[in-house]
């Protein structure tokens, strides 16, 4: 698949096996490979016998910070990479976002390619060029737009992905299906729920098809609105205003991104229904689908009494304009943005956060 995101082009190659280094890049000796502890084995396989530095970072959202970005820059500097050098990331969304960010600022921008290793990365994070890291407890506060020139999706590596990470990725796939309305993606997922609850190498063809559809959907949206300045790309944030607030309030890394997004999509349905945008049957259908994959749809008991904290966390969301809160809610065909006055409509939002549907 080929996409053009503003001034950048991205080629996405969906395969089963980990690609060979000479397929990834012609001048592969002029590169560094970035991975985390759990994806280091993939980086080692790619490197093979060649003398390419590996930059192995600590894993997880709690390490999506400046210190990790600096380690990548240090590795490139030690290797004396020029602007024509390649940052090759092998990992999930955290490694991808950090490496893309580091590539975008190293010598004002060097080459960047990505081998995506999580379901979340393969269906969403690897495509579209958002890079960055968390700061001051705010998700992705710092970042750039810097799409990878090539994205490899070797689906076989999902065999080592822990089940909770599979579930986290499935939430972003459900998000894409919801956004694409009642199309083929939704039908395929609905009809194959049991086979999609965990990685199943016998169902790899189904998985490859779903990944391709998700990448195509995201790629097309981002092509139309690469820097989220229009009304298209923002739709990909369905469930994220609520979800990011939950992640931040619980403590970054405590609740997986996907679990938080799934919970956020349920809240988005409640909000959409309460303002007459999400038809009741569609909200019920979406909630049933989310619940059938085992996501928690209720207010997390451990956050009881913290609706105000969640609300304050939402006020930091990057999608907001001053004094307003912006949400994406499902509508009859896909989803649409809605804006609320954060002063006037506090009660409505807090009620939704607590799991109630305001009338
Ligand atoms: N750039 C974007 O457009 C975009 C979109 C969505 C999410 N994100 C970001 O992506 C991040 C979440 O991504 P993620 O869910 O991939 O998290 P992640 O990168 O932290 O990976 C999840 C865990 O799985 C491990 N892992 C990865 N691949 C593995 C494999 N094949 N086998 C064994 N273990 C493996 C990792 O080490 C980590 O512990 C968040 O920071 C989120 O903000 C970015």
Res 96 pLDDT > 90: yes
Under the banding of pLDDT at 50, 70 and 90, the label for residue 244 is: confident
Percent with pLDDT over 70 in the chain: 94
Please report the pLDDT score of residue 231 as a whole number. Answer: 86
Res 143 pLDDT > 60: yes
Res 300 pLDDT > 80: no
Please report the pLDDT score of residue 358 as a whole number. Answer: 44
Q: Which of 118, 169, 176, 253 most suits a substitution to test ligand 1, by most atoms within 8 Å of the C-beta?
A: 118
Res 304 pLDDT > 60: no
Distance 279 CA to ligand 1 centre (A): 33
Res 294 pLDDT > 60: yes
Name the average pLDDT for the chain.
91
> Ligand 1: which residue has its CA nearest to atom 30?
161
Under the banding of pLDDT at 50, 70 and 90, the label for residue 321 is: low
Please state, in angstroms and as integers, the Cα–Cα distance from residue 161 to each residue in 38, 120, 165, 170, following that order: 9, 11, 6, 12
Q: Closest by alpha carbon to 24, among 112, 146, 145, 105? A: 112
Res 359 pLDDT > 50: no
Give the best-scoring range by mean pLDDT among 96-100, 245-249, 302-306.
Answer: 96-100
Average pLDDT of the residues in 13-25: 95
Distance (Å, whole) CA 284 – CA 295: 15
Average pLDDT of the residues in 234-262: 87
Residue of higher predicted confidence among 232 and 87: 87
Under the banding of pLDDT at 50, 70 and 90, the label for residue 75 is: very high
> Ligand 1: which residue has its CA nearest to atom 16?
92
The answer to whether residues 83 and 110 touch, using CB atoms and an 8 Å cutoff, is: yes
Please report the pLDDT score of residue 323 as a whole number. Answer: 74
Q: Closest by alpha carbon to 72, among 131, 117, 150? A: 131
Least confident of 71-75, 86-90, 281-285: 281-285
Under the banding of pLDDT at 50, 70 and 90, the label for residue 344 is: confident
Please report the pLDDT score of residue 299 as a whole number. Answer: 64
Q: Which of 97, 133, 142, 228 most suits a substitution to test ligand 1, by most atoms within 8 Å of the C-beta?
A: 97
Q: Closest by alpha carbon to 115, among 21, 227, 203? A: 21
Q: Closest by alpha carbon to 81, among 108, 54, 110? A: 110
pLDDT tens, position by position, 156-187: 999 999 999 999 999 999 999 999 987 889 99
Active-site residues, by number, are 108, 130, 172, 218, 228, 233, 237, 240, 244, 257
Res 211 pLDDT > 90: yes
Cα torsion through 10, 219, 227, 30, rounded to 10: -20
Under the banding of pLDDT at 50, 70 and 90, the label for residue 318 is: low
Distance 91 CA to ligand 1 centre (A): 7
What's the Rg (C-alpha) of the chain? 20
Q: Which atom of ligand 1 is nearest to the CA of 256?
A: 15
Quote the pTM value: 0.92
Res 255 pLDDT > 90: no
Least confident of 12-21, 77-86, 241-250: 241-250
Distance 324 CA to ligand 1 centre (A): 30
């Amino acid at each position: 698949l080929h996409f053009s995101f503003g001034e950048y082009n991205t080629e996405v190659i969906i395969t089963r096996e980990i690609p060979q280094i000479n397929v990834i890049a012609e001048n592969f000796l002029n590169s560094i490979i970035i991975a985390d502890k759990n994806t280091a084995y993939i980086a080692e396989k790619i490197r093979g016998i060649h003398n390419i530095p590996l930059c192995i970072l600590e894993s997880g959202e709690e390490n999506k910070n400046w210190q990790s970005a600096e380690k990548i820059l240090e590795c490139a500097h030690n290797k004396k990479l020029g602007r024509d050098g390649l940052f090759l990331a092998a990992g999930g969304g955290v490694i991808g976002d950090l490496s893309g960010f580091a590539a975008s600022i190293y010598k004002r921008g060097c080459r960047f390619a990505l081998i995506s290793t999580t379901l979340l990365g393969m269906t969403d994070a690897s495509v579209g060029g958002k890079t960055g890291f968390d700061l001051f407890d705010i998700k992705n506060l710092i970042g750039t737009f810097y799409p990878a020139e090539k994205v490899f999706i070797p689906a076989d590596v999902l065999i080592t992905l822990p089940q909770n990470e599979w579930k986290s990725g499935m939430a972003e796939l459900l998000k894409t299906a919801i956004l694409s309305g009642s199309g083929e993606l939704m039908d395929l997922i609905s009809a194959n729920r049991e086979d999609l609850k965990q990685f199943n190498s016998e169902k790899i063809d189904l998985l490859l098809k779903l990944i391709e559809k998700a990448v195509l959907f995201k790629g097309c949206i981002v092509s139309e609105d690469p820097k989220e300045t229009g009304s298209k790309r923002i739709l990909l944030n369905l469930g994220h205003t609520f979800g990011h607030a939950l992640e931040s309030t619980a403590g970054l890394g405590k609740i997986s991104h996907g679990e938080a997004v799934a919970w956020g999509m349920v809240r988005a349905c409640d909000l959409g229904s309460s303002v007459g945008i999400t038809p009741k049957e569609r909200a019920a259908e979406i909630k049933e689908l989310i619940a059938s994959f085992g996501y928690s749809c209720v207010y997390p008991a451990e956050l009881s009494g913290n609706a105000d904290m969640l609300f304050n966390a939402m006020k930091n969301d990057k999608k907001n304009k001053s004094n307003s809160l912006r949400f994406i809610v499902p509508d009859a065909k896909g989803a649409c943005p809605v804006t609320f006055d954060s002063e006037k409509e506090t009660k409505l939002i807090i009620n939704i956060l607590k799991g109630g549907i305001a009338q």
